[in-house]
Amino acid sequence: MAYDKAAVRQIIDRVRADKRTALTAPEGKQICDAYGIAVPQEGVAHSAAEASALAGKMGGAVVLKIVSPDILHKTEAGGVLVGLKSADEVAKGYDTILANAKKYKADARIVGVQVQQMLGQGQEVIVGAVTDPSFGKLVAFGLGGVLVEVLKDVTFRLAPATTGDALSMLDGIAAAEMLKGVRGAEPVNREALAGLIVRVSELVNDFPEIAEMDLNPVFATAKGAVAADVRIVCDFAPAEPRWRPSQQEIVTAMNRIMKPKSVAVIGASAEDGKIGNSVMKNLINGGYKGQILPIHPKASEILGYKAYPSVKDVPGEIDVAVFAIPAKFVAGALVECGEKKIPGAVLIPSGFAETGNVEGQKEIQAIGRKYNVRLMGPNIYGFYYTHSNLCATFCTAYDVKGSVALSSQSGGIGMAIIGFSRSAKMGVSAIVGLGNKSDIDEDDLLTFFEQDDNTQVIAQHCEDLKDGRAFAEVARRVSKKKPVIVLKAGRTAAGAKAASSHTAALAGNDKVYEDVLAQSGVIRARSLRDLLDFARGVPVLPTPKGENVVVITGAGGSGVLLSDACVDNGLKLMAMPSDLDAAFRKFIPPFGAAGNPVDITGGEPPTTYKNTVKLGLSDPRIHSLILGYWHTIITPPMVFARLIVEVKREMEAQGIRKPMVASLAGDVQVEEAAEYLYLHGVPAYAYSTEIPVAVLGAKYRWARGAGLL
Amino acid sequence: MAYDKAAVRQIIDRVRADKRTALTAPEGKQICDAYGIAVPQEGVAHSAAEASALAGKMGGAVVLKIVSPDILHKTEAGGVLVGLKSADEVAKGYDTILANAKKYKADARIVGVQVQQMLGQGQEVIVGAVTDPSFGKLVAFGLGGVLVEVLKDVTFRLAPATTGDALSMLDGIAAAEMLKGVRGAEPVNREALAGLIVRVSELVNDFPEIAEMDLNPVFATAKGAVAADVRIVCDFAPAEPRWRPSQQEIVTAMNRIMKPKSVAVIGASAEDGKIGNSVMKNLINGGYKGQILPIHPKASEILGYKAYPSVKDVPGEIDVAVFAIPAKFVAGALVECGEKKIPGAVLIPSGFAETGNVEGQKEIQAIGRKYNVRLMGPNIYGFYYTHSNLCATFCTAYDVKGSVALSSQSGGIGMAIIGFSRSAKMGVSAIVGLGNKSDIDEDDLLTFFEQDDNTQVIAQHCEDLKDGRAFAEVARRVSKKKPVIVLKAGRTAAGAKAASSHTAALAGNDKVYEDVLAQSGVIRARSLRDLLDFARGVPVLPTPKGENVVVITGAGGSGVLLSDACVDNGLKLMAMPSDLDAAFRKFIPPFGAAGNPVDITGGEPPTTYKNTVKLGLSDPRIHSLILGYWHTIITPPMVFARLIVEVKREMEAQGIRKPMVASLAGDVQVEEAAEYLYLHGVPAYAYSTEIPVAVLGAKYRWARGAGLL
What mean pLDDT comes out for the span A589-613?
89
pLDDT digits (tens, 9 = 90+) for B403-442: 999 999 999 999 999 999 999 999 999 999 999 999 999 9
Q: What is the pLDDT of residues B120-150, one digit of tens each?
A: 778 999 999 999 988 999 999 999 888 888 8
Quote the pLDDT of residue B505. Answer: 39
DSSP designation for B522: P
What pLDDT is recorded for position A161?
96
pLDDT-above-90 percentage for chain B: 82
- Closest-CA distance, B313 to chain A, in angstroms, reads 33
- Reply yes or no on whether the pLDDT at B242 is more than 90: no
Question: Which residues of A fall within a CB distance of 8 Å from B351?
Answer: 591
- The architecture of the domain spanning B5-37+121-234 is 2-Layer Sandwich (3.30)
Residue range A197-226: mean pLDDT, rounded: 94
Which chain B residues are Cβ-neighbours of A410 within 8 angstroms? 555-558, 560
Tens digits of per-residue pLDDT, B666-690?
999 999 999 999 999 999 999 999 9
How many percent of chain A have pLDDT more than 90?
81
Average pLDDT, integer, range A87-103: 93
Check residue B288 and give its pLDDT.
97
Nearest to A597 among B273, B498, B664 (CB): B498
Long-range own/partner contacts, residues B100-109 (CB < 8 A, 24 or more apart): B100/B66, B101/B66, B101/B68, B101/B71, B101/B77, B103/B78, B104/B71, B104/B76, B104/B77, B104/B78, B104/B79, B105/B70, B105/B71, B105/B77, B107/B70, B108/B68, B108/B70, B108/B71, B109/B68, B109/B69, B109/B70
Q: Tell if the CB–CB gap between A528 and B690 is shorter than 8 Å.
A: yes
**Domain at B543-705, CATH homologous superfamily:** Succinyl-CoA synthetase domains (3.40.50.261)
- Asked if the bond preceding B160 is cis, omega within 30° of 0, the reply is yes
Check the CA dihedral B505-B509-B511-B515 and report its sign: negative
Contact B435, B378 (CB under 8 A): yes
CB contacts of A590 in chain B (<8 Å) are 355
Give the whole-angstrom CA distance, residue B431 versus residue B386: 9
What's the CATH class of domain A542-705? alpha beta
Mutation target among A561, A596, A690 for the B interface, most CBs of B within 10 A: A561
Candidates 3.40.50.2000, 3.40.50.300, 3.40.50.720, 1.10.287.110; CATH matching B245-379: 3.40.50.720
Same fold, B42-117 and B245-379: no
DSSP string over B234-288: E-SSPPPPPP---HHHHHHHHHHHHS-SEEEEET--SSTT-HHHHHHHHHHHTT-
Asked if the model's pLDDT at residue A273 lies above 90, the reply is no
pLDDT band for position B194 (cuts 50, 70, 90): very high
CATH superfamily of A5-36+121-234: ATP-grasp fold, B domain (3.30.470.20)
What percent of chain A lies above the pLDDT cut of 70?
98
Task: Tell me which chain B residues have a C-beta less than 8 angstroms from the C-beta of A416.
Answer: 558, 664-666, 686-687
| CATH number at A247-379 | 3.40.50.720
Residue B500 pLDDT > 90, yes or no?
no
- According to DSSP, the residues that pair with B126 across neighbouring strands are B142
Determine whether the interchain pair A665/B416 forms a contact, defined as Cβ–Cβ distance below 8 Å: yes
Least confident residue range of A182-186, A214-218, A582-586, A671-675:
A182-186
pLDDT at site B503:
41
Q: What is the pLDDT of residue A500?
A: 61
Subunit contact A182:B150, Cβ cutoff 8 A: yes
Alpha-carbon gap, residue B147 to A178, rounded angstroms: 7
Q: Could you give the CA distance from residue B56 to residue B87 in angstroms, rounded to a whole number?
A: 7
* Planar angle of CA A191, A195, A199, nearest 5 degrees: 175
Residue A160 has pLDDT above 70, yes or no: yes
Q: Do A560 and B532 touch (CB under 8 A)?
A: no
Q: If pLDDT is split at 50, 70 and 90, which confidence band does B592 have?
A: confident
Q: For residue A479, is pLDDT > 70?
A: yes
Taking an 8 Å cut-off on Cβ atoms, the answer to whether A495 and B408 are in contact is no
Please provide the average confidence, as pLDDT, over all residues in chain B: 93
Nearest Cα of chain B lies from the Cα of A50 at a distance, in angstroms, of 36
Nearest CA among A522, A558, A525, A556 for reference residue A661: A558
For the segment A647-673, the average pLDDT, to the nearest whole number, is 97
Domain boundaries, chain A: 5-36+121-234, 42-117, 247-379, 400-540, 542-705
Q: Which residues is A1 bridged to in the sheet?
A: none
Q: Residue B100 has what pLDDT?
A: 93
pLDDT given at position A188: 95
Q: Does A691 sit within 8 Å of B273, measured CB to CB?
A: no
pLDDT grade for A505, boundaries at 50, 70 and 90: very low
Decide which of A300 and A491 is more confident: A300
> CA distances (Å), B556 to each of A414, A435, A503, B92, B627, in order?
12, 11, 8, 74, 11
Say what the pLDDT of residue B223 is: 87
Q: State the average pLDDT over residues A671-694.
A: 98
Question: How many CB pairs below 8 A link A and B?
Answer: 305
Mean pLDDT of A697-704: 97
| pLDDT exceeds cutoff 90 at A654 | yes
Average pLDDT of chain A?
93
pLDDT digits (tens, 9 = 90+) for B267-312: 999 999 899 999 999 999 999 999 999 999 999 999 999 999 999 9
Cα angle: A446, vertex A447, A450; to 5 degrees:
80
Nearest-CB residue to B416 (from A396, A560, A666): A666
The chain B residue lying nearest A274, using CA atoms, is B633
Task: Residues B400-540: name the CATH superfamily.
Answer: Succinyl-CoA synthetase domains (3.40.50.261)
Distances from the Cα of A13 to the Cαs of A9, A37, A204, A237, A304, in angstroms?
6, 20, 15, 14, 68
Q: How confident is the model at residue A502 (pLDDT cuts 50, 70, 90)?
A: low
Is residue A647 scored above 70 in pLDDT? yes
Degrees, nearest 5: CA angle B33-B37-B40: 75
pLDDT for B532-586, tens place per residue?
Answer: 999 999 999 999 999 999 999 999 899 999 999 999 999 999 999 999 999 999 9
At residue B41 the predicted structure's pLDDT band, cuts being 50, 70 and 90, is confident
B360 pLDDT higher than 80: yes
d(CA A709, CA A457): 18
Report whether pLDDT(B463) > 80. yes
pLDDT, mean of residues A369-391: 97
What is the average per-residue pLDDT within A567-582?
96
Yes or no: say if B489 and B461 are a contact pair by the CB < 8 Å rule.
yes
What pTM did the predictor assign?
Answer: 0.91
Residue A508 pLDDT > 60, yes or no? no
Residue of A nearest to B555 (CA): A412
Q: Which CATH number fits domain A42-117: 3.30.1490.20, 3.30.70.100, 3.40.50.300, 3.30.465.10?
A: 3.30.1490.20
Instruction: Count CB neighbours of B134 within 10 A.
Output: 22
The average pLDDT across B163-181 equals: 94
Check residue A332 and give its pLDDT.
98
Type of residue found at B485: I
- By CB neighbour count within 10 A (0-12 exposed, 13-18 middle, 19+ buried), where does B246 fall? exposed
Residue A495 has pLDDT above 80, yes or no: no
pLDDT at B499: 65
Chain A residues inside the 8 Å CB shell of B590: 355
Task: Please say whether the beta carbons of B486 and B523 come within 8 A.
Answer: yes
Q: Where is average pLDDT lowest: A59-73, A338-352, A654-668, B82-96?
A: A59-73
Amino acid at A293: L
**Residue A414 predicted with pLDDT over 90:** yes
Using CB atoms, pick whichever of A413, A419, A665 lies closest to residue B413. Answer: A665
Helix (H) or strand (E) holding A550: strand A548-553
Q: Closest Cα to residue A495, out of A467, A526, A519, A472?
A: A526
Suggest the residue from B146, B434, B527, B560 to mutate for an interface test with chain A (most A CBs closer than 10 A): B560
Reference B2, options B206, B172, B182; nearest CA is B206
